[in-house]
Structure 1
Amino acid sequence: MSVVLSTAPLSISDRADFWQDAVSRTFVPLDVDLHEDEPATATIVTRRVGFMQVSTVTAGPQTVARNPRMIARDGKETVTLTLMHRGIAERSQDGRDAIVNPGQFSLSDSRRPFNKVLRQAFSLTSFHFPRSALGVSDLELQAVTATPYGEDEPFSALLAGHLKRLDGSADSVAPTQADRLAAVTCDLLACLIQERHGRMTPQEPAAMQAMLLRIKEYIVRNLANPDLSLVEIASAHQLSLRYLHKLFETEGVTAARWIQQQRLERCRKELARTTSHAPTVAMVAHSWGFASASHFSRVFRITYGLSPREYQATARRHSR
């Protein structure tokens, strides 16, 4: 269900204060300075996709800033990915300045000051999620804020295409698939961040790195399929099994082990959720592609040191 905030019903004199409050409540506390003496109509349409918030903003020229006082006051740890549709954004954070054009996206981290100047009417979509969902280091994240990403490189083009499709279908995502889709988005973004920070093997040709990222995206999208096999993955990308194994050797892990790690991590996150109706271990295992609940329990204990039930019970106790 969408939540719409609009200045359309308000008088010209009331729009600035309303917009300041609307922007801060939708994202994080921000200073908003409108560049128009008579502010044009502005709207924010917000949808939830699992733990991710998707907000489309259409407004007139303005400057948006987050300062140390606001950071100290609210302490929110969120990351916002902003995809520009119309207009140009001038972004600043972590000592960098960037121009973000339509079709490009950029990142900001709520834990440090940032500034965004929009000198003309604009339209954008922001994907807003908890910092903890990314699973990247602070150093990696700081290296990629206030940087424009578009479709001129394989990695960012892959994510840009995913974001555009998600933006167009956010309203129709089934609740049962929402968290999974949010997790896939975070995983793809984490891959981009880590690649840009140089975590992927620098000696490998760019084509191999691009292929590996496409394969990872395919795997993440199909984790719930218990019949997902290395033969299918190789065939879908017109590769030999031998070449598929060679690609994952650059990661220091086998393809099968990487798939198992992804499934285990998603199961762990799902077991840790403190909802009123906690899913059973078998339900969690099957929802992420484990054909056998007993096999899942065995590898979960080996990986995390607790059985799935013990882990789930511990998470619920900590929550209370």
Structure 2
Amino acid sequence: MIGLTVRKASRLTGTESFEAVASALFAPLRVTDPGPQGFEAVVDHTAIGPVVVARIQAAAATVTRDNRSITSGDMEWIHFNLHHRGPVTAIQDDRSATVKPGELFACDNTRPYRLIGADSLEMTVLCVPRASLGRHATALSRRTALPMSTQGGIGRLLGHALSAVHEDPACQGPSRRYVADALTALLLATFADTTPERASVASGLADRIRVYALAHLGDPHLSAERVAHRHRISVRYLHALFKGGDLTFAAWIRHERLLRIRRDLLDPACADTSTATVAARWGVHDTRHLGRALKREFGETVSDLRRGRRG
């Protein structure tokens, strides 16, 4: 499924059939229903590049992924669940929360979790490989089973985007990679607006600095000194703005560049473009250590990415 754009809807009767489909789509898990009434569910999913978007309507049930279900061969996902209807309780690690319609919550499938639906429910699930999240995966993993609203701000944009992808998954060919990148970027921005790690960089100035830096990633001379001068602050104050975040300013710039280099290396439209040219496009002119940097950030070398593009 990964790397393809697939649309498939399954109408299921009985927890066994739902468990089989959900396990194949997400990772091995167990499904139990609370009563004698017949269990029914509809699972409609779309794979867009490396991410999967699934729309689930199901009767009351409990979904459990425990240590017996987790194996070393499982695809490592973080699931981001946009809840639409019905009561559901999310449990992971030492966290437990009742999620309301319109709220978003995450689950990390590399650790046990449980979802309890006391009545019929409906949700959209965005499955993102941990490798696609880079170093953000660790911070996001600490935010599982903690609901956040999608009624305003960037969260609202993410909600609209997920609904649009579900209703009209028409992206084909190279465009699917950019749709996947856009969904992942919106997701990271949604969590960045709420995660405690970002509290110290949540000022309007820090946001303006981020926007400026992203617009100038292709400039090989982009640096803390230049950004600080542009915004009339000291370099020390610039670093202080990012203190307490997931990444220092320099590490964040490096990650954002590597993210775009990875995307372009995977893009069939760049098949005839050299790695050096792709890297230079994003401000990296010394490629001697690029392979190791990509491997450290995403678990993939340049050769892996080039092969993935052909796959």
Q: Structures share a fold, TM > 0.5? A: yes
TM-score normalised according to structure 2 size:
0.71
Q: Which moved more, 1:97-106 or 1:136-145?
A: 136-145
**Conserved? CA contact 2:86–2:119, under 8 Å:** yes
Task: Tell me the number of residue pairs that the alignment of Structure 1 and Structure 2 aligns.
Answer: 279
Residue 287 of structure 2 is matched in structure 1 by: 301
Residue 59 of structure 2 is matched in structure 1 by: 60
1:279 maps to amino acid:
A
State the shift of 1:151 in Å.
3.6
Superposed, 1:180-191 pairs within 5 Å as 180-191=178-189
Residue 130 of structure 1 is matched in structure 2 by: 129
**Conserved? CA contact 1:144–1:196, under 8 Å:** no
Q: 1:262 to 1:132 in 2, by over 3 A?
A: same
**Conserved? CA contact 1:30–1:65, under 8 Å:** yes
- Describe the SS at the equivalent of 2:119: coil
Residue 273 of structure 2 is matched in structure 1 by: 281
Q: Name the CA distance, whole Å, in 1 between partners of 2:97 and 2:273.
A: 46
Query: Does residue 96 of structure 1 match 2:95?
Result: yes
Residue 233 of structure 1 is matched in structure 2 by: none
Q: Name the CA distance, whole Å, in 2 between partners of 1:88 and 1:244.
A: 48
Q: 1:116 to 1:264 in 2, by over 3 A?
A: closer
Query: Does residue 268 of structure 1 match 2:262?
Result: yes
Superposed, 1:1-320 pairs within 5 Å as 1-7=6-12, 15-72=14-71, 74-136=73-135, 139-151=138-150, 157-170=153-166, 171-193=169-191, 198-200=196-198, 202=200, 206-208=203-205, 215=211, 242=231, 250-251=241-242, 253=249, 258=253, 262-271=256-265, 273=266, 279-281=271-273, 290=281, 299=285, 301=287, 304=290, 312-313=302-303
Q: Which runs of 5+ in 1 are unaligned?
A: 8-13, 231-240
**Conserved? CA contact 1:264–1:300, under 8 Å:** no
Q: Name the CA distance, whole Å, in 1 between partners of 2:233 and 2:109.
A: 38
Provide the aligned C-alpha RMSD in A.
4.3
**Conserved? CA contact 1:48–1:54, under 8 Å:** yes
Residue 226 of structure 2 is matched in structure 1 by: none
State the shift of 1:305 in Å.
6.9
* Higher helix content, 1 or 2: 1
Q: Name the CA distance, whole Å, in 1 between partners of 2:291 and 2:55.
A: 43
Q: Name the CA distance, whole Å, in 1 between partners of 2:275 and 2:58.
A: 44
TM-score normalised according to structure 1 size:
0.69
Q: 1:312 to 1:113 in 2, by over 3 A?
A: closer
